[in-house]
C-alpha cells in the first residue's frame, strides 16, 4: 500500500515506523550540498577567509617581535582618542617588505552610551618578501605634528 500526502499527491509520505522516505533523504542531501557549495564560493571571494591563522596584534604587543611567512597577512588594532582629535598613522612604511591591504576605524558598539569613547583603528598588512623590518605607528593630532605624538607603537617583523 502507498501513502500520499493530501497537498502533494506525487510525493510519498513517511509511513510510521519505517524512517524517512527517499524524498526526505534527497532533500537533506541537496540542502547540505547547497550549503557547502555556498560556503566555498563565499570563502573563495574573500582572501582573508582563507588565511585562518592571521596574527592580530594590539598595544599589548608594543615593542615586541613577530615572525610570519612571506605572503601572509597580519592585523594591527589600536584604540585612538578620536573625540580629542588624535589619529594613528603609519610612519615610513617599508614598502619593500610590507603592504597595507585595508584600513578601518570602528566606532564603539553603542556610541549613544559612550560619548567620547575611543575608536578602534585597524590595519591589515601583508608581508611581501623575506627579511627583517619594523612597523612604526604614531598617535598624534595632525595639526600638532608627529613630533608631539602621545604614543608610538613599534613592531619588529621577521619574514621567512
Whether 4 and 59 share a structural domain? no
Whether 31 and 77 share a structural domain? no
> Distance (Å, rounded) from C-alpha 28 to C-alpha 87?
52
As a whole number, mean pLDDT of residues 72-81 equals 93
12-28 pLDDT tens trace: 555 555 555 665 666 76
Whether 102 and 28 share a structural domain? no
Whether 105 and 62 share a structural domain? yes
Shortest CA distance to 131 belongs to which of 99, 113, 158?
Answer: 158
109-159 pLDDT tens trace: 565 656 667 789 999 999 999 999 999 999 999 999 999 999 999 999 999
Whether 39 and 63 share a structural domain? no
Whether 85 and 18 share a structural domain? no
Label the pairing between strands 73-80 and 55-57: parallel
> Which pLDDT score, from 0 to 100, does residue 23 have?
57
- List all residues 6 or more positions away from 155 whose beta carbon is below 8 Å from its beta carbon: 57, 61, 62, 63, 64, 65, 66, 76, 134, 135
> Distance (Å, rounded) from C-alpha 129 to C-alpha 2?
68
- List all residues 6 or more positions away from 75 whose beta carbon is below 8 Å from its beta carbon: 54, 55, 56, 57, 122, 123, 124, 125
Q: What is the pTM of this model?
A: 0.64
Whether 127 and 65 share a structural domain? yes
Is the CB of residue 69 less than 8 Å from the CB of residue 88?
A: no
Whether 103 and 56 share a structural domain? yes
Whether 2 and 58 share a structural domain? no
SS3 string of 54-103? Answer: CEEECHHHCCEEEEECCCCEEEEEEEECHHHCCEEEEECCCCCCEEEEEE
Question: Nine-digit cell at 99?
Answer: 603592504
Domains in the chain, number: 2
29 CB-contact burial (10 Å; exposed 0-12 / middle 13-18 / buried 19+): exposed
Whether 39 and 78 share a structural domain? no
Confidence tier at 49 by pLDDT (50, 70, 90): very low
- List all residues 6 or more positions away from 134 whose beta carbon is below 8 Å from its beta carbon: 94, 154, 155, 156, 157
* Domain range enclosing 2: 1-45
> Which pLDDT score, from 0 to 100, does residue 54 have?
87
Is the CB of residue 141 less than 8 Å from the CB of residue 88?
A: no
Whether 101 and 84 share a structural domain? yes
Whether 19 and 67 share a structural domain? no
Task: Give the CATH number of the domain where residue 132 resides.
Answer: 2.60.40.2020
Amino acid at each position: 500500500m502507498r501513502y500520499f500526502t493530501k497537498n502533494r499527491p506525487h510525493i510519498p509520505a513517511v509511513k510510521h515506523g519505517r524512517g524517512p522516505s527517499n524524498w526526505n533523504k534527497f532533500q537533506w542531501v541537496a540542502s547540505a550540498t547547497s550549503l557547502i557549495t555556498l560556503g566555498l564560493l563565499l570563502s573563495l571571494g574573500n582572501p582573508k577567509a582563507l588565511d585562518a591563522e592571521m596574527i592580530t596584534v594590539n598595544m599589548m604587543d608594543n615593542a615586541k617581535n613577530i615572525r610570519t611567512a612571506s605572503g601572509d597577512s597580519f592585523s594591527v588594532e589600536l584604540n585612538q582618542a578620536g573625540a580629542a582629535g588624535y589619529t594613528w598613522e603609519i610612519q615610513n612604511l617599508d614598502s619593500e617588505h610590507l603592504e597595507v591591504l585595508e584600513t578601518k576605524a570602528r566606532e564603539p558598539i553603542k556610541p549613544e552610551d559612550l560619548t567620547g569613547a575611543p575608536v578602534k583603528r585597524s590595519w591589515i598588512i601583508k608581508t611581501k618578501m623575506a627579511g627583517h623590518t619594523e612597523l612604526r605607528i604614531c598617535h598624534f593630532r595632525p595639526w600638532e605634528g608627529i613630533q608631539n605624538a602621545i604614543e608610538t607603537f613599534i613592531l619588529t617583523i621577521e619574514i621567512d
